[in-house]
DNA sequence: TGGAAAATTTGATCTGTGTCAAAGAGACAT
DNA sequence: ATGTCTCTTTGACACAGATCAAATTTTCCA
């Protein structure tokens, strides 16, 4: 599966969480009809909370547009982002009733939701859905583990570069055409959200972005629009192997 | 499912990765026979590598005895543990050919392995296995995300206390009987392994353990044998909510 | 049982990131 | 346009944890 495939998958069937991430070929008509019946859309404004940690969560969903964040917060307010959901990403878990972390809309957000009970029933009836969800969950686990390396061992500069790479790769697959070295994208996160993603303070995030700009690794128009003149150069700043960890 | 159940599950059918973690009830005879045919055991000495990141991994397995660690290493040698496998834990992924991280034996290790091809065929044939693996993977994802909070936001002391709690909970379920406040267990990790787990240096790990000892939170006999006189006291040091995050 | 190698502890010092504070820049409503 | 509010940048300083070094304890093999 390539990102290109995923994009097509998303565009062609934007309301099926299983089809999302490029499994169109395996979805059959009667399943789609079933999904039609149990689906509904929900919109959230930037900053709104979708579910609170510990709350009942009676639906599963996939992101249609916008960005959502999964966060965990300690009693004294320290918060760590533990998941970043971009369009086509899936959220919620069959077999669990209670959300283990806060889900909040980072930007304006539209999600396609499915009530959990019927969704689970469909899972029982059509085995390949569980297999597909397993695959998606394993991908998420891989991402979480790469994130753990970032949190535990990378410097602030490497963390910023890594985050920019992640966003560049995701957004680039949606926006840009050429496979040239130059990449252009918008930062969909505030400095504070980036800090919560990276386990830093927002001041450190700001300083490191300034440093990368001064060193010519990135260019900024306004606070959000990023141009990467040399993608390899940014890659080198992440501390990751040059093959980008995309080896499976 | 309680930890007590898991213990029984492990003892009664130590060679079935699906039965492990207390799903005995759903395993049927013909599946067990199939598993018999494709299973084999492998042993590793402490320190040995089971698979290298990027290598072919043509089996899935579950830990019978000992401890294994999943680690990621950067080019310059910085390493971060991203998974800790205790007895009954599952490793490997149907649908993936290449290991995304190193798997090494932390102690002497025995694993019960299943060649991947036939295991996958069995998954196709018996849908509830994929569902069970999905559930297990979601548990792992939750653990990974709690770990991310630890790596990103906790102090060194909180990190140590959290790790001790995790081990105490797991080991206690195997060793101790009473639900008293006192817990006794062996630390199965070197200071270096703990440091790699927590995103610290081994010196900091040593210092913080000394500090917890001096403050009476833990007692040490030798370097490995730990006594926790007041479990709640240790819990308070972790920074976690008092309910222990076990709310699902 | 002795002795070398490995693991751990402890000390001294350094440094990257956090903390606190204030000034600048954008976004938006009136 | 003007002012208010939020987000971002920048500065000065503090401190938790890293680094470098050495002493001590444990392990384990001869």
Answer yes or no: do A134 and A179 share one domain.
Answer: no
B247 located within any domain: no
Give me the pLDDT at residue A88, please: 80
| pLDDT tens digit sequence for B144-178 | 999 999 999 999 999 999 999 999 988 765 555 55
Judge: A137–B137 Cβ closer than 8 Å, yes or no: yes
Same domain for B8 and B117, yes or no, is: yes
Domain end point (choices A150, A184, A206): A150
Read off the pLDDT of residues B117-131 as tens digits, 9 standing for 90 and up. Answer: 988 888 888 887 888
Q: How far is the CA of A204 from the C1' of D12 (A)?
A: 15
Whether the beta carbon of B199 falls within 7 A of nucleic chain D: the reply is yes
Last residue of a domain, which of A85, A115, A150? A150
The structure tokens listed for A107 are: 């930007």
Beta carbon of B210 within 7 Å of strand C? yes
Angstrom distance, A163 CA to C22 C1': 29
pLDDT at residue number B71: 97
Is the pLDDT at B2 greater than 50? The verdict is no
On the question of pLDDT at A172 being above 80, the answer is: no
- Does A105 share its domain with A213? no
**pLDDT at residue B22, as a whole number:** 39
- State the average pLDDT over residues A28-46: 75
For B103, which DSSP code? E
Reported as a single tens digit per residue, the pLDDT across B28-76 is 455 666 667 778 889 999 999 999 999 999 999 888 889 999 999 999 9
- pLDDT given at position B54: 93
A11 CB neighbours strand C below 7 A: no
In a domain, residue A245? The reply is: no
* Shared-domain flag, residues A189 and A220: yes
For residues B130 and B167, membership in a common domain is answered with no
Chain A to chain B, count of Cβ pairs less than 8 Å apart? 125
Do the domain assignments include residue B27? yes
Question: Measured between CB atoms, which of B80, B98, B248 is closest to A100?
Answer: B248
Q: Are residues B95 and B55 located together in one domain of the fold?
A: yes
Residue B246 covered by a domain: no
Its domain, for residue B227, covers 154-237
Phi, psi (deg, nearest 5) at residue B220: -120, 135
Q: Are residues B14 and B120 in the same domain?
A: yes
**Any idea what the CATH number is for the domain that residue B199 is in?**
1.10.10.10
Residue B248 within a domain: no
Render pLDDT for A60-80 as a digit per residue (tens, 0 to 9).
998 888 999 999 999 999 999
Buried b vs exposed e over A184-221: b needs ≥16 C-beta within 10 Å? bbebbbbbebbbbbbbbeeebbbebbeebeeeebbeee
B42 touches strand C (CB under 7 A): no
pLDDT averaged over every residue in chain B: 83
Classify residue A248: in a domain, yes or no.
no
Q: Name B residues 215-244 whose Cβ lies under 7 Å from strand C.
A: 220, 223
Same domain, B122 and B8: yes
Residue that terminates a domain, selected from B128, B150, B172: B150
Q: Is the minimum distance from the CB of B151 to strand D below 7 Å? A: no
Question: Minimal Cα–Cα distance from B148 to chain A, Å?
Answer: 6
User: Residues A38, A144: one domain?
Assistant: yes
d(CA A133, CA B69): 25
Residues A65, A221: Cα–Cα separation, whole Å: 24
B55, B98 Cβ separation under 8 angstroms: yes
Specify the CATH number for the domain of residue B15: 2.60.120.10
Q: Note whether B113 and B22 are same-domain residues.
A: yes
Does any domain span residue A84?
yes
Please state, in angstroms and rounded to a whole number, the distance separating the CA atoms of residues B148 and A139.
16
Same domain assignment for residues B55 and B139:
yes
Domain count, chain B: 2
Q: How close, in Å, is residue B240 to chain A by CA atoms?
A: 7
For residue A93, give the chain B residue with the closest CA: B138
Residue B27 confidence class, pLDDT cut points 50, 70, 90: very low
Residue A108 within any structural domain of the chain: yes
Write out pLDDT tens, residues A196-205.
999 999 999 9
Computed over every residue of chain A, the mean pLDDT equals 83
Which nucleotides of chain C are near protein (any atom < 7 Å from a CB)?
7-12, 16-21, 26-27
**B39 and B135 co-located in one domain:** yes
């Amino acid at each position: 599966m390539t990102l290109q495939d995923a994009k097509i998958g998303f565009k062609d069937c934007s309301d099926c969480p299983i089809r999302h991430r490029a499994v169109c070929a395996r979805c059959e008509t009667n399943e789609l009809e079933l999904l039609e019946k149990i689906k509904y859309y929900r919109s959230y404004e930037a900053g709104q909370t979708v579910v609170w940690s510990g709350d009942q969560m009676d639906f599963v969903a996939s992101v249609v547009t916008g960005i959502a964040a999964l966060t965990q917060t300690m009693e004294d307010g320290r918060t760590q982002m533990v998941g970043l959901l971009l369009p086509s990403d899936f959220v919620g878990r069959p077999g669990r009733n209670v959300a283990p972390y806060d889900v909040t809309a980072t930007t304006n957000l539209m999600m396609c939701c499915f009530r959990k009970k019927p969704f689970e029933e469909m899972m029982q009836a059509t085995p390949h859905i569980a297999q597909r969800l397993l695959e998606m969950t394993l991908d998420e686990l891989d991402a979480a583990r790469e994130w753990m390396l970032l949190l535990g061992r990378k410097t602030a500069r490497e963390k910023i570069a890594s985050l920019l790479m992640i966003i560049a790769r995701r957004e680039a697959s949606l926006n840009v055409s050429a496979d040239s070295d130059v990449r252009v994208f918008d930062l969909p996160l505030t400095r504070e959200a980036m800090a919560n993603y990276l386990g830093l303070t927002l001041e450190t995030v700001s300083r490191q972005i300034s440093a990368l700009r001064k060193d010519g690794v990135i260019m900024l128009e306004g606070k959000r629009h990023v141009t990467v003149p040399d993608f390899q150069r940014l890659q080198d700043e992440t501390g990751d192997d040059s093959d980008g960890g995309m080896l499976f």
